[in-house]
Homo-oligomer: A and B are copies of this chain.
């Protein structure tokens, strides 16, 4: 399994790189707009994972090169870079599953609010910008980057997986469950994306309003 984290130098990219790097044996590639930035980040992640006892080789290249060999590509970029990022890798997505973890949010004095793109959700925006044969799966939208990035943190958290391609969803669910402490639950087709993505600002609001909850996660029961 070859996994590419596009925009993998950002917060959620780092979080997923550290966890997939430490807990799994997937071939891991960091993509960025510039290969140099990606290579620097990959080196940092290797060092951090090594500090937790696991020797790991992670490569860092430009996004298109990262996507070229990948079985699964994660769009670890802010919502407003999703279409540009997909355009940059468009020729490299054959036989690839695209994972959308991003969520559109706006903040004000009250808290964070769900603010999807005109397509209705970031996952729908991604789906609009890939070739028709490429499945888009929403996943990891509700995983706290801060929590995952601290490899000392142990947890039992759920992430929701949604999309229209059952086989692709099964692959992504199996993949994210290789991270220690993560359970993947299905949330239905892409049409249900807005309800899933809305959970992310809620988690931030809950963390903001309750002592003792930081980098909130969720467990369904």
Separation of A194 and B217 alpha carbons in the complex (Å): 19
A208 proximity list for chain B (CB < 8 A): 188
Copies of this chain in the oligomer: 2
A220 touches which of B189, B194, B196, B213 (Cβ 8 Å): B213
Once the chains are docked, how many angstroms separate the CA of A199 from the CA of B208?
17
Is A131 interfacial (CB 8 A cutoff)? no
Contact across chains for B188 and A203 when beta carbons are under 8 A apart: no
Distance in Å from the Cβ of A139 to the closest Cβ of chain B?
14
Stretch at the interface among A55-63, A92-100, A108-116: A108-116
- Please indicate the chain B residues that have their CB under 8 angstroms from the CB of A160 in the complex: 202, 206
Residues of B within 8 A of A113 (CB): 191-192, 194-195
Kindly state whether residue A157 has any CB partner on chain B within 8 Å: yes
C-beta contact mask, A30-51 vs B, less than 8 Å → 1, else 0? 0000000000000000000000
Q: Which of chain B's residues has its CB closest to A157's CB?
A: B221
Q: A206-B160, A220-B206 are in contact. Are A114 and B213 (CB under 8 A)?
A: no
